[in-house]
Structure formats: C-alpha cells, structure tokens
Structure 1
Amino acid sequence: MTISTPYPIIDGQERKQGSLGTMPLVNPSTEEVIANIPNCGAEEALEAARLSVEGFAQWSAMAPFDRSKIMRRAADQMRAEVEEAAAEMTRESGKPLVQARGEWMASADLLDWFAEEGRRAYGRLIPTRASDMRWAVHRRPVGPVAAFTPWNFPAWTVMQKVAPALAAGCSVVLKCAEETPSSGWRIVGALLAAGLPPRALSVIWGDAPAISAALCAAPEIHKVTLTGSTRVGRILASAAGQHLKKVTMELGGHNPVIIARDVDLNTVVPLAAEFKFRNGGQVCVSPTRFLVEKPIYAEFVAGVAEAASKLRVGDGMDADTQMGPLATAGQLSKIEALAADAVQRGAKIETGGSRIGNRGYFFQPTVLSGMTPEMDAMNEEPFGPLMLVMPVDDIDAALTEANRLPYGLASYAFTNSLSTERKISERINAGMLGLNHYAMAMPETPFGGVGDSGMGSEGGIEGMDAYLRPFLVTAKIV
C-alpha cells in the first residue's frame, strides 16, 4: 500500500507548486511533518473559477444518464482505493483507521446515491387557465459552485457538496481543508479518471481568507457552500451576499441530549459514550450537552464516566485505538481551556480532564458533571472529547436549556414515553432530532440546521434541490 502526497488539481493537472510556496502537512498523532505541500491563494482560485465556466458548459450539456455512469464509475474506483484513502485520512486527521474506512466507503455510497438521483431531477407541467397555453417548469443547474470543506470529515463533507452539485450538472471549485487535503485530492482524481471533464472539477487548498474572498467575488461562481464554523459562515455568507450568490451553510452546533427518567440506562449509557467520543468529539452533530432528569442523573454520570475511562486512546493507525488525537494544536488548547473554565466555575471532572503525554494532540475522554449554563463549555461548541452533563428537574426544564442557545443543528432525546417524544418533537428548536438513537447523516435524508447553525440542507432530495433552479416556460399553442 502506497500513501501518496496530495497536490492541487486544476484543469485536470496536478500542481506541484503553489503561488504562495509550500505549507507543512502535520500528523496529529506524532506532530511530525508528513510533507510540504503546495500553498494556494487567490491566483489558483481565480484560475479554477475561470475554467469552471467551460467545465460547466461541457458537463451540464451531458445527458443525466451519462453523468450518472461517470459518477458511479468513480464510486467504484473509490471503493477499490479504500485502504490507501483510509490510511491517508488517518495520517492527516488522527481518526482511527476503522472510522476512516467507514467514512470513505460511506462517501462512495453518497456519490452513488446522487448519481441515481440526478437521473430523476424532474420538472413538472402546471394546469393552465386557457386551452391554448402550456406551462412547464424545468430544473436547471445553478452554475459553477465554490465549495469549502473542513478537516473533521474530509471525505464525507466533500462528497456532500460535490456529489449533488455534479449530479445536478454544476461544475465545482473545491477548497478543502489544508490540514486534510488527501481525501479531496483522491476524490477529484477518481472522478477525473472516470471521465469527468477536467475543467468541471478542481481542488485547491491554502490561504483560506484569500481563496474564499476570491471565489465569493468571482463572477464565474454562482453558488457558495460551506461546512464550517458559525464565525466563518457569517463571513462567507456576507461575502456571497454582496454578489447575490446562492448559499448553503452547514455551520456549528451545540447539540443537546435530553435523557428522560424512564430510559433503560444499560442501553443509553454505552450509546452515549460511543457517539460522544467518536472522532474525538470532532463531529458537527456530536452530542454535547447531556440534560438528564434528576432521578437517574447520578447513575448516568457514573455509567458514562466508567465507559469513557475504558476507551483506548492512541495513534489512529493502531488497530486497538478507539479514539485518536485532536486534529490540531489549536483544538487541543481550546479543549484544555474549556475544561479548566468549567472546573473553576464548579463542575466536577468524573474522568479524564487532561492532555495525554507531550507528543501528539491527545486529550483524555472527559466527563464533566454539575454543568451550569454560565460555563463557557455550555455556550461555545467544544468540538472535542468533553461530555457535559447537567441535571434537570423535568422535560420542560430540559427543553428550556436545549433551546437556550442560538444554535439549532442536531438534537437527541431518549425516552420510552410517546407523550414525551411528542412534546420534545413539537418544541425542540433544531434542524434534526434523533429519538432513541444518534445516527443522523444518510444519503437519503436532509442534513442541516436553523439559526446560527446555518441555512439550507445537504443530503436527500433537498440536497439536490440546492444545486438546481426552476426555469418556467409558458407557451401559446399556435
């Protein structure tokens, strides 16, 4: 198995040099520099944007049936490369190899799903008011797209944007995270090898402010889509709005978990630990604020603390590792600060709470009990291995706390009561709700939030709609 060095791809060609020189690619498990990779800026962004116009003309003119075949060939190629791709993802992000494999294969499935959905982007006929008239609504691709993706799920988040955009007939300029560029580079390579026109898809990385400013202002780009923080989302949405471009923003969250007193803790506790510490908590839909009714609070805290303490933390390439390092030094510093603030304000560390060693960005799976709303961690998305547990008197109090923040991405609730399920479903302020489970993102289902968690949806038919525009034709029969 060969682990390759990624390079930006523009016009179907790898760029071995960047206009801003090079930048280090770091392994978060060892802090070693893996490679020095090209550092791109506005120059590459504008070149890719200009070429995307021709790419759009070629790709959108192709029949949806033929576009689908190319996308499905690329998905098959991705599956054949799973071991190399997973190793690269683990090397760059730190996540356990088994999770990297799963993400890569799920991303291939996502490409397959949208390849088929693109063949069914139907319009409609509207009954007219006169017998000599015909009204038809066609669905056309919006045009070239600028897509910005993060480091935590470097294949899945790329595919959430690239797959529906290509299925709709759009061209894409992809700016992937400089911390984890290999997944985007490999996905683009698979699509080009499968027959995608070279100018229909580019991938770059580097100076994020320069690239985003250039693409948001570029007249060739008709839509901007981001998965990232609320802060960056505001910047990009504002910049795109200045030029009246369509946007889809999948932004931050601070996802509540309401745990009712009637649950079976033998089932709920292992699930809580598994999903809280998946990918080190660096998941936009990661459960963060656990709001537990007081009669079962102490037992829940003891159970999750025990489960968290048994997790094996280490290099993601080790087959026994259940949780890898945080992806960056900045994330490590942030988690340390949030944990320290919570303790200073009265929270109790039930397990964890400290960095592991002094090499690599490792932090212990941590359970903090006695959380209160004024603590920084209860207001700022941790994006790390902090399980924040707060006692509540009842479901009404849990809902009040769950809806307190301006975020509204994912939410979760565990109960055996249909009336409690109904109350939570009707009153929770979020884009998504998981009842008695944590699984969220599937190709067939919409994924998105409200408020500070963004606008628009990815996945499902809603994800496809985001890259299409209605075109009305009214005809008088002569």
Structure 2
Amino acid sequence: MHASLYVGGEWRPTSVAKPVINPATGESVGTVAGAEPADLDDALATAAAGFRVWSQTLAHERGRRLIDGCRLIRERIDAIARVMTLEQGKPLAEAKGEIATSVDNLEWMAEEATRAYGRILVPRTPGIQQFVHREPIGPVAAFTPWNFPALTPLRKIGGALAAGCSLILKPSEETPLTAFELVRAFHDAGLPPGVLNLVFGRSAEISAHLIASPVIRKVTFTGSTPVGKHLLGLAAQGAKRATMELGGHAPVIVCDDVDVPAAAALAVKAKFRNAGQVCTCPTRFFVQQGVYDAFVDAFTAATRKIVVGNGLEAGVEMGPLANARQLASIEALVGDARAQGARLTTGGHRLGNDGLFYAPTVLADVPDTARMMSEEPFGPVAPIQKVASLDEAVAKANALPFGLASYVMTRSLSRADRLSRAIEAGMVVVNHFTVSTPASPFGGVKESGYGSEGGIEGLDAYLVTKSVTMRLAGEDLQP
C-alpha cells in the first residue's frame, strides 16, 4: 500500500517512497510519498482556489458533503482499522473504536455547519443597522501526530470544512496510511477539488513552507509542547491564528472514599489504552493515604491481567509502542525512577526481542525528583504517590506547566465540585475517563496549548467576526 499526495482533487505520484513500519513485527506494511516544494506550492494554490468555492457553498451543502464522507468511512471501517493497527500497533478493537468516535465527531460538526450564527445589534442611531457576520477564516494548515491517526485528522477536517475553510493536512509519516484512506473516502464522496489536500514529507520543511505562505490564514497542530511553540513562532510572523493541542501530564486524584477495586479497574483500562500513548492519558496518580496500599495492590493486580501482543490477534488488549523512540524513552524513565527509590510492583521490562513491546508497568512510592513525575511518559507506565490530604494532591496536580486533562475519583459531590474547580486543566473528568464527546470542547491551558477542538468552540476556531454597519436605503446622506 502506498500513501500518495492528494493535491487539487488528484492523487499525485512522487519520486520519494519511504517505508511504513509495523511496530509489532518490524516489517514494512507500505510506503509514503514525500512532497517537494513544487508540490507544496501547488497545494497552496489549489487550497486558495478551493476556499473560494467552498466558502461560497451553502452550509447545508457543506454538511451534506461531509456526511457523505462519513458514510463511506463507516462502510470501510474494518479495512481502515486494520490499516491503523498495522502501522500504529493499537489493538484492532481500539482502532475501530477510534474511527467510530472520529466519525461521530465529524458528523456532529457537519450538522453544526448550519449554526455559525451572526446577530443583529440594537441600533443606537436612527436609520443605521448593525450586523455581525461569522465567516470562514481561510485556508488552513493542519499538522497531526502518530498516536491517533484517525481522530486528530478528522477533528481538524471536521472543524475547518464545516466552517467553510479549505485545508492542507500533513499527518505523521509514521502513520500515513490511515490518513490516506480517510482522504480517499472524501474524494470518493465527491468533495470539490482543492477543499482537502494531503501532503507528506519532512515535518520541519513542510511546516515552514506552508505557514510562511500568505495563502494560509490558520494553523492547527496536535503534538508536543516544544514543537507547538516552534510552530506558534512561525505563525506569529504572519499574525496567523492558531489552535494548539499540546502535551499533557494528567493527574488523577484518588480520594479515600472510593470503591478501591472498581476505581483501580477503571484507571487501569484508561492508563494502558493505546499503550499509554495518549495525550489525555492518566499519568500521575495521587492517592490519599487511607486507601493507598489497597489501591496500589488492586491497580497492580489489574495491570498484570492485561494481554499484550500483536493488535491483529484476538484477545489482545495492548499492542506495542509505536516507535523505537518511545521504547527507549520509557526504559530510561523507568530506570531513573527505580534508581531514585520508586518501588516496582509489576512490569518494568521489554517483552521479547521482536517488535516494540513493553510490559505494562506500575511504580509505587515514586519521588517528586523522578523524571517521569515532570516529563510526560507517553507509554505503559503508571507512577503512584501517596498524599496526606486533598490540598496536597491539588498542589501536586497543579505543580507542572501542563494543563490538558485531569481526573478525580470520589463518592462525594462536594469533593468532586471542589477539586474540579481547583485543578488547573482544560478538561476535568470525575469518576470515569471519557474526556470528550462530539459536543464538548477539547483543549488545554498553560503549556498544554490553547484553543479548542470539538463542540461549538471547535467550529468557532475556524471563523472570523465581521461587523457591518449600514445606512438604510432611502435615508438622506448627511455629512
């Protein structure tokens, strides 16, 4: 399978074909094209032309075209999920779930396209009317990571295209095949040429080229905080709006009134989803001392039951890490924590020599000085700390510069309210781990970025406000 460029409604051959590697086997599962500067210039030109057409297309029609694409993706979900598992490693059931959730998000946004409301202002002067219009901002450059090859591209496609913008999508070269299949569905659904374009290549070169172009009016990025800051610097040179969904290090505050086995079971399922390679993944567990030992034991027992293996095999609950960088990073972070006194209760080692598998790992009594308490681990390791009070837990939760997702587990409504208000994060979840729905905004604060995807905020991110003041016809012109 080959992921080619898609520019101006046409699949474009290139001289570059980089292999795409299956992290479970180390074998190539396809190739991905690489864009040259001329390809990027063509993508910019066609995005500009596509915007002129798409922005003038009625919102109802834009929504119908997006729904047509969703229908095709749903029909092809089994095939696309298999592609995702081959190139990214997550279990097949997770891949299908990701695609289904992604389409739900896109369908909701397609319907929201008809609700980009303006307003009429109450006049202050006789004969003068004032209107506020909401209009698409223009062509968008979108950059997405490897951990959610369907969810992150479709969030950006949904918001931009529903608003009336055209878009140039640049996914990760490590998971290009899923994005290729998604774009092909929109092509087959009859999306007008230039509205959606797909490019691959060296990230630094493509981002610099696209963001510097006067054609691009908006930048949207999901990925690490350092890269996000760099792209913000590029966008600032053109005073371009940006949405940044950056790194997190989600705290979990476990209160001493919980049902310990149930709380631990829920937390384990969330922690090891996608092998822990989730920006909203629970990563720092702060457990009140009254239930600390019981929680560690229950969490460890549930973790030991996780079935690790090739995501295409039946019964597998956790696949490999997506690339060798992540494996090396987790090995280093676990080694550092253990050297500083953390207590290993399970895992802590690589599994086998084939593929990039790492055992689901639990570390108790992790000191604040361990690197994984300040650096997002982005892998299958759960550090747990004991806290004497909820005030201490909140202080630890807010101690880092990140503020994406956070979690609270308690039976007390007053505690739930108090903690959800006190934690500095864009999203707080109480007694479960589903961070967002199609109707809710998804985004962070502090160094976890700004702006939101999803919900009415996700459409608003691609709209600009225009104020129109009009003297009514028939009124005498006065100086």
Scaled to the shorter chain, the TM-score interval is over 0.9
Contact in 1 for aligned 2:408/2:420 (Cα 8 Å):
no
| Residue of structure 2 in register with 1:174 after alignment | 169
3-state SS of paired residue (2:94): helix
The 1-side partners of 2:281 and 2:176 are apart by 23
Question: Is residue 2:297 matched to residue 1:302?
Answer: yes
SS in structure 1 of the partner of residue 327 of structure 2: helix
Q: In the alignment, which of 202, 205, 208 is matched to residue 210 of structure 1? A: 205
Mapped to 2, the partners of 1:336 and 1:290 lie a distance apart of 20
2:298 aligned with 1:318: no
- In the alignment, is the contact (CA less than 8 A) between 1:408 and 1:451 conserved in 2? yes
Query: Aligned residue for 1:475?
Result: 470
Q: 1:35, 1:312 → 2: CA distance?
A: 27
Q: Separation in 1 of the partners of 2:451 and 2:243?
A: 5
The corresponding residue for 1:237 is 232
Q: Deviations over 1:117-137 (max 9, x none)?
A: 001111111111123111100
State the AA in 2 paired with 1:274.
Answer: K
CA distance in 2, matches of 1:232, 1:253: 14
Q: State the partner residue of 1:10.
A: 7
Q: Please list the CA deviations of residues 95-146 of structure 1 after superposition, one character each: whole Å capped at 9, or x if unmatched.
A: 0000101111111112211110001111111111123111100000000000
Q: Any idea what SS the aligned residue of 1:199 has?
A: coil
**TM-aligned CA deviation for residue 419 of structure 1:** 2.3
| Matching residue of 1:247 | 242
SS in 2 for 1:257: strand
Q: Deviations over 1:407-452 (max 9, x none)?
A: 0000000111222122212211000100111101211100000011
5+ residue gaps, structure 2? none
**Alignment of 1:418 onto 2:389:** no
| 2:376 is aligned with 1:387 | no
Q: What corresponds to 1:224 in structure 2? A: 219
**Where do 5+ consecutive residues of structure 1 fail to align?**
none
Take 2:464 and 2:75, find their aligned partners in 1: how far apart are those partners?
A: 35
Native 8 Å contact 1:51 1:199 kept in 2:
yes
In the TM superposition, 1:29-44 aligns within 5 A as: 29-44=24-39
- Residues 1:25 and 2:20 are matched in the alignment: yes
Q: Which amino acid aligns with 1:171?
A: S
CA shift for structure 1 position 193? 1.8
Counterparts of 2:127 and 2:250 in 1: how far apart (Å)?
55
Matched, 1:376 2:371: yes
Aligned counterpart for 1:156 among listed residues 151, 158, 169: 151
- State the distance in 1 between where 2:317 and 2:421 align: 36
Amino acid at match of 2:8: D
Other-structure match for 1:443: 438
Query: Aligned pair 1:186/2:188, yes or no?
Result: no
Aligned to 1:46: 41
Query: SS of 2:187's equivalent?
Result: helix
Q: In structure 1, how many angstroms separate the alpha carbons of the residues matched to 2:434 and 2:84? A: 22
1:357 to partner: Cα distance: 0.7
Instruction: Report what 1:62 is aligned to.
Output: 57
Q: 2:448: which partner in 1?
A: 453
1:392-407 paired onto structure 2 within 5 Å: 392-407=387-402
- TM-score, normalised relative to structure 1: 0.97
User: How far, CA to CA, are the matches of 2:97 and 2:413 in structure 1?
Assistant: 33
For residues 178-198 of structure 1, what are the alpha-carbon distances to aligned partners after superposition, in whole Å with 9 as ceiling and x for unaligned? 111122111211112222111
In structure 2, do the counterparts of structure 1 residues 458 and 350 end up closer, same or farther at CA, with 3 Å as the change threshold? same
TM-score by length of 2: 0.97
Counterpart of 1:256 (choices 206, 231, 251) is 251
Q: Is the 8 A contact 1:10 1:48 kept in 2?
A: yes
The answer to whether 1:332 aligns with 2:327 is yes
Q: In 2, Cα distance between the equivalents of 1:271 and 1:311?
A: 13
SS at match of 1:388: strand
Counting aligned pairs with the same residue, the percent is 46
Select 1:139's aligned residue among 123, 129, 134: 134
User: Counterpart in 2 of 1:104?
Assistant: 99
Residues 41 and 331 of structure 1, relative CA distance in 2, 3 Å threshold? farther
| Amino acid corresponding to residue 456 of structure 2 in structure 1 | I
Please give the alpha-carbon distance, in whole angstroms, between the structure 2 residues aligned to 1:56 and 1:362. 44
Q: What residue number does 1:347 align with?
A: 342
Conserved 8 A contact 1:370-1:391:
yes
1:275 paired residue among 250, 264, 270? 270
Separation (CA, whole Å) in 1 of partners of 2:397 and 2:354: 37
| Higher deviation after alignment, 6-15 or 112-121 | 6-15
Matches of 1:169 and 1:362 in 2, distance apart?
A: 43
Alignment partners' CA distance in 2, 1:350 and 1:44 = 52
SS of alignment partner, residue 198 of structure 1: coil
Per the TM alignment, residue 41 of structure 1 is displaced from its structure 2 partner at its CA by 4.4
Deviations 1:320-377 (A, max 9, x none): 1100000000000000000000000000110000010111010000001111211100
CA contact (8 A) 1:93 1:152 kept: yes
CA deviation profile, 1:227-250 (whole Å, cap 9, x unmatched): 000011001011111111100000
Amino acid at match of 1:17: T
One-letter amino acid of the structure 2 residue matched with residue 378 of structure 1: M
Q: In structure 1, which of residues 420, 427, 431 is the aligned counterpart of residue 426 of structure 2?
A: 431
Once the two structures are superposed, what CA deviation does each residue of 1:45-74 show, in whole Å capped at 9, x if it has no partner?
232112110000011111111111111111
Secondary structure of 2:470 counterpart: strand
After TM superposition, give the deviation of residue 37 of structure 1 in Å: 2.4
Return the letter of the residue paired with 1:102.
G
